[in-house]
Structure 1
Amino acid sequence: MEGIVTVVILLLLNLSVIVILNEMIQTNPGLQDGIFIIKRSVFIGPAHYQLWSWENIFIALMIVFDVGVVYWRLIRRYHQMQLRHIIGELHYIANGHFDHRIPFTLKGDTQRVVTSVNSLVDSVISSIEEERRIEKSKDELITNVSHDLRTPLTSIIGYLGLVEDRQYHSEEELLKYTNTAFNKAKQMKSLVDDLFEYTKMRQTDTPLTIAHLDLTQMMAQLAASFELEANEKGMTLVTDVGDEPIHIEADAEKLGRVFNNLIGNALKYGGDGKHIYLRAKQLSDREVAVSVENDGSKIPEAALGQVFERFYRVEESRSKATGGTGLGLAIAQSIVSLHGGYIYVTSDDDLTRFVIHLPIKNGDRLKRPDVKN
């Protein structure tokens, strides 16, 4: 309809211009003579055609102009219709249909608008989901901390209440109550310390004290420090690091915390085995792999994907009996991530392996491949 109206208006305009020009020429003999001279002096093409009818030339030019104007108007209106469709799709998404995206494909800058809008919606939805996940994670953290603190705190209050009310029959019984309260308090302190360490390691701007480390020497020191505890449990620590030293740039204290957690877990939960293996190997000029392995009971298949989650315990009763807070592996994962590496676990009937990949040079980041448990 807009095209038809535009054509009618242009025809009327053209007719008006032609009438006005004709009137000007008819009333001005000098202009007539000038046009005649131009017609005789202008030739077109090799055959030397002369311009005998200026009206036809003018009409042809007007037609070209009119076609251009109609095309511009129609294209402009078409783009406006496209924008209205895009705005309609945006209103539909804004009304709560967040899984919807603008489905049509256009050309030129309008398609760039559609692509940008879809990308923006994806980004917003991703941010909303991430915020919900973080909020849920915070709620779970508060719930887990409250639960793990309430149990020892209740025991402490109970036993100290017995002492306060003098409900004991001998000094031996009094010492038993205070010793139980003391152990529960240490359990609470361990949880708070681990929680503080976990939250600190989760911050990406946590500073690292970088130094040049010899992993071969570190493995030997770890084996020596846990040798007595391993012997008491009937286990043997075996190191396999090769003959050549392996040097990396890392935070010695924080990496020591990682290996202490892994070896401590192997002693606690792999106690039915006989060996704990500490292995280190340089894979390339930018990557090393370190593993802590034990031949104890394997981790259930269903638990392999959850062992690095905070407060997760493969066996609740056994973990509580051994004093585990459920944060050790989460802390280890956070420390390894701060160093630009990654950690994963595999477990079968022969060995349970916690494998750490670390960059040799500080600042490098390793990309974790798909690892099947």
Structure 2
Amino acid sequence: MMKLSGRERWLLFWEAIITIGILLLLDWSALTIIDQVVHTNESFQVGIFEIKSGLSFGPEDLRIWSYQWVGILIIGGVNLWVLIWRLVRRYRSFQMAHILSELHYIAAGHFKHHISYKLNNNLQKIIDSVNAMVDAQIRAREDELAIERSKDEMITNISHDLRTPLTSIIGYLGLVENEYEKLTPALIQKYTHTAYSKATQMKSLVEELFEFAQMQQLDLRLNFEKINLSEMLEQLAASFELEAQHKNLTLTTESWPDDIIVDADPDKMARLFMNLIQNALKYGTNATFIKLTSRLERNYVEVRVINDGEKIPAEAVEHLFDRFYRVEGSRSTKTGGTGLGLAIALGVVEGHNGSIYATSDDNTTEFVIQVPIIQRSMGKLNENETHTQSTPSA
């Protein structure tokens, strides 16, 4: 409830006094005019007499013999309504003034301030809207701070991941440059090979940074076309088969139905599954298999990348798609990862209006992707054709 100040209460009191005074003057004038009209018009007098004769009230049939009293009662009721209307109107103007004062206080820089008034009129909608705006401002500010911290962390991580191989490159090439006459051909080859591998690592990081930056662009345009997702997964599995064999893994695919046609950017979709397969190969410790499954649902396709490696800690699962995040505690790049693969995967899925999440238990770790069969940007002309191709079900 809003409390009025002493000054406002006095203003409200004098508003009532002035209103009553004005109404009494108007009433006296009205009654005087009515009395003159009645006394100067014989037909009015006859009509009033007949009305009074026909009116009675109560069990004893009391009669009103004075039309002045009837006028006073009517005018009194009107006066009371006008007085209440004026006071309520002035009271609400005070309420609006308090709300404006609160708004000026918020606009002065107190962006976390909420208006605490609870009113029983339409002004409450204004208060609720202002408080909702304040909450939105608080959330936006928190998001902005989180983005700033994320940018700072990203710069730190990039600096670390670039500085480490760059230091090695400079170090080994410096040895070759300064100690060339003292080095054997075998050492020269070893040092240049190490510098080359570190340079390749830097190139991979820069390329992933560039691709990640592309996926974060608000005006990102994907080249959608109809692709056979089942065939794509089979081809990717075949391309990673040799690497899987070196790690004593079996890499298989399953699709229900055999051919799943979806609208997608083939290059970006291929990168999505390549990143997930590479992630399973690098971090699926003690895994014996990697399985790619795809299933056609009513209006979307669900793809799962499954391995039976060691369980990912529950607290780490929700951060897997954060940029530069690695489950292991250190920033070591011994696994060859940059920490951007899953962040890029997330960007690809969101660009296809889909979703991606991970689950992990003692038996398997699964990355689940769901994307629509038909993309809005493909237009409506191909919708019937695509629907016909997607009717088979498991």
Compute the TM-score of the two structures, normalised by the length of structure 1.
0.84
**Residue in 2 that maps onto 1:40:** 46
The aligned residue for residue 154 of structure 1 is 167
Q: Which residue of 1 aligns with 2:191?
A: 177
Matched residue, 2:25: 13
Report the count of equivalent residues: 357
Question: Helix, strand or coil for the counterpart of 1:313?
Answer: coil
Deviations for 1:186-224, whole angstroms, at most 9, x for unmatched residues? 111111110111111122421111111222212211121
| Distance of 2:332 and 2:161 partners within structure 1 | 12
In structure 1, the residue matched to 2:208 is 194
Q: How does 1:1-373 map to 2 (within 5 A)?
A: 1-10=13-22, 13-14=25-26, 17=29, 34-42=40-48, 43-44=50-51, 47=54, 55-56=68-69, 58-90=71-103, 93=106, 98-166=111-179, 168-242=182-256, 244-270=258-284, 272-282=286-296, 284-315=297-328, 320-363=333-376
Residue 88 (structure 1) shift = 4.4
State the one-letter code of the partner of 2:81: G
Task: Name the amino acid aligned to 2:279.
Answer: N
Amino acid at match of 2:338: T
Deviations 1:161-199 (A, max 9, x none): 233324542233223222222221111111111011111
Letter in 1 for 2:342: L
**Cα distance in 2, alignment partners of residues 46 and 203 from structure 1:** 89
> Greater RCO between the two (CA within 8 Å, min separation 6)?
2
Q: Is the 8 A contact 1:292 1:354 kept in 2?
A: yes
Mark the CA change 1:59 to 1:340 in structure 2 (over 3 Å): closer, same or farther. same
Letter in 2 for 1:101: H
Distance 1:341 1:272 in 2: 31
- Rounded to whole Å, the distance in 2 between the matches of 1:331 and 1:33 is 96
Partner deviation per Cα, 1:90-120 (whole Å, 9 max, x = no partner) = 4565576655533343234212212221222
Bigger shift: residues 144-153 or 45-54 = 45-54
CA RMSD of aligned residues (A): 3.0
Q: Distance in 2 between matches of 1:327 and 1:87?
A: 49
Q: Provide the secondary structure at the position in 1 that maps to 2:200.
A: helix
Which consecutive residues of structure 2, in runs of 5 or more, have no partner in the other structure? 1-12, 57-62, 378-394
CA distance in 2, matches of 1:15, 1:308: 78
Which amino acid letter does the alignment assign opposite residue 207 of structure 1?
R
Please state whether the residue corresponding to 2:291 is helix, strand or coil. Answer: strand
User: C-alpha separation between the residues in 2 aligned to 1:320 and 1:48?
Assistant: 103
Distance 1:222 1:32 in 2: 105
CA distance in 1 between partners of 2:351 and 2:14 (Å): 63
CA contact (8 A) 1:39 1:51 kept: no
Which structure 1 residue ranges, 5 or more long, are not aligned? 26-30, 365-373
Deviations 1:17-53 (A, max 9, x none): 379759x95xxxxx78633442124543782799975
Contact 2:356 2:367 in 1 (8 A): yes
| Letter aligned with residue 44 of structure 1 | I
The aligned residue for residue 380 of structure 2 is none
> Which SS does the other structure have where 1:285 is aligned?
coil
The Cα of 1:270 is off from its aligned counterpart by 2.1
Distance 1:83 1:15, change over 3 A: closer
Q: Residue by residue, what CA displacement relative to the aligned partner does 1:120-172 show, whole Å, maximum 9, x if unpaired?
A: 22222222222222222222211111111111122222223233324542233
Does the 8 A contact of 1:336 with 1:342 survive in 2? Answer: yes
In structure 1, how many angstroms separate the alpha carbons of the residues matched to 2:361 and 2:218? 34
